[in-house]
Amino acid sequence: MTGGAAAVGGVPVRRVAELTAIARNAARLLAGARMTDAPAVGSLSREAEASLRDAGSALPRHWTLGDRLTTVADVAVVEVRDGGELAAVLKLARTAAGDASLEEQLGVLARLATDPRLGSWRRLLPEVLASGVTGGRRWSVERAVPGTVGTSLPDSVSPPAAARNAVHAVAELHRSTGRAVVASPGLVDGRLDPVLALVDEVPMLLGSARRRALVDRLRERVRSGLVGRTVWVGRTHGDYFPGNVFFGRSADVRGVIDWGQSREDDLVLVDPGTLLLTVRAAAQGTGLGRVVGDLCRGAPLTDAEVALLELHRAACPADPLGADVLALLTWLRHVENNLLKSPRYRSNPAWVHATLETVLRAAG
């Protein structure tokens, strides 16, 4: 063949490689491989103990390691306990991707901690007690955030009140660091092109021609719904779902964790969008891909969801966007976060089908 990909038996080489990868990954999935299985799990305890020792005088000597907490990034999270109390968490990179993610988070927290625009809002940031590199892998220790994580609220905390307070809290961050701009084609394409390039590299059951056509339709759908509209850009959290927000007994926000996906001059709507869509997915008992697909097919936002978006717009004035455009912008950021923070996502056929293919088909 000339002017195109080489072929084997009439099938492009890239397609052969994709189908081979899909078959291999499916076999691993059926054999029990999970997204939460980081490599060399057996060495985690030794590495965690070594990291805690290297922290030295930065931590009380009587603090000890507790249970490992579940994580789907290439960063393990381990409790650090003061007797029977949770005092801190140790974050330990397990791969090169984990090193990069943890280094990015430490940099973001250092910049935010000294940003005069945030004022008292900085009380919601995690406090880094110690950090370093042990055995070639980066680690950090953060003081435990007070309150209860949003995915496990007690009956005494109202979920609607918690959602409103979470939106209000992140809107303060956006207002303090952002501004209103008109979305130009360059601004929109600058957000779309990097993530769509990542999506194009993921092995899928969809053939390359079909996938490219669906990606082009998705791109045009977002562009037509965004270009020329007033949007608010500023500092985002980037993964603002209930599992990263801690609440007090009166549903007040006590802390926000995991800042590795934070960005400056970002489309801030991805933060309330992430909160809204993940809460909807949890209520429906389904995945984010299904929720985004439904909204692309015309499912409406609820009155409560619209009220949350209006609460955010009151603090950060911008034009309202269609539910499908909001959903796709949120989905694109979610996909980009996952593909960048761990190569295991692109190798998991269940995630690829439920999160990528489902939305590409619905949006196209």
Cβ–Cβ < 8 Å for 234, 172: no
As a whole number, mean pLDDT of residues 206-220 equals: 91
Query: What is the 3-state secondary structure of 51-112?
Result: HHHHHHHHCCCCCEEEEEECCCCCEEEEEEEECCEEEEEEEEECCHHHHHHHHHHHHHHHHH
> Containing H/E element for 93?
strand 85-93
- Taking only the tens place, the pLDDT of each residue in 59-95 is 999 999 999 886 666 899 999 999 999 999 999 998 8
Q: pLDDT value at position 44?
A: 82
284-339 pLDDT, tens digit per residue, is 999 999 999 999 999 999 999 999 999 999 999 999 999 999 999 999 999 999 99
Cα–Cα distance, 344 to 37 (Å, whole number): 9
Query: What residue spans define the domains of the chain?
Result: 41-144, 149-363
Q: How confident is the model at residue 1 (pLDDT cuts 50, 70, 90)?
A: very low
**What pLDDT band is residue 36 in, cutting at 50, 70 and 90?**
very low
Quote the percentage of the chain above a pLDDT of 70: 87
Token output for 104: 């990015």
For residues 270 and 274, give the distance between their C-alpha atoms in angstroms, rounded to a whole number. Answer: 6
Cβ(234)–Cβ(268) below 8 Å: yes
Distance CA 225, CA 159 (A): 31
pLDDT reported for residue 226: 97
Of the chain, the percentage scoring pLDDT greater than 90 comes to: 75
From the list 320, 322, 329, 316, the residue with the least C-alpha distance to 180 is 316
Instruction: Identify the pLDDT of residue 364.
Output: 82
Half-sphere exposure of 79 (CA within 13 A, CB side): 12
- Domain at 41-144: CATH code: 3.30.200.20
Specify whether domain 149-363 bears CATH 3.90.1200: yes
Q: What angle do CA 295, 298, 299 make, to 5 degrees?
A: 60
Instruction: For residue range 215-243, list pLDDT tens digits in order.
Output: 999 999 999 999 999 999 999 999 999 99
- The yes-or-no verdict on residue 281 having pLDDT over 90 is yes
Q: Average pLDDT of the chain?
A: 89
Element spanning 319, H or E: none
List CB contacts of 205: < 8 A, sequence separation 6 or more: 22, 353, 357
Res. 40 pLDDT band, cuts 50 70 90: very low
Query: What per-residue confidence (pLDDT) applies to 28?
Result: 52
pLDDT in tens, 46-58: 899 999 999 999 9
**Cα→Cα distances 20→26, 105, 203, Å:** 10, 35, 9
Angle value at C-alpha 126, between 42 and 140, nearest 5 degrees: 35
Cα–Cα distance for residue pair 313/320, rounded to 1 Å: 8
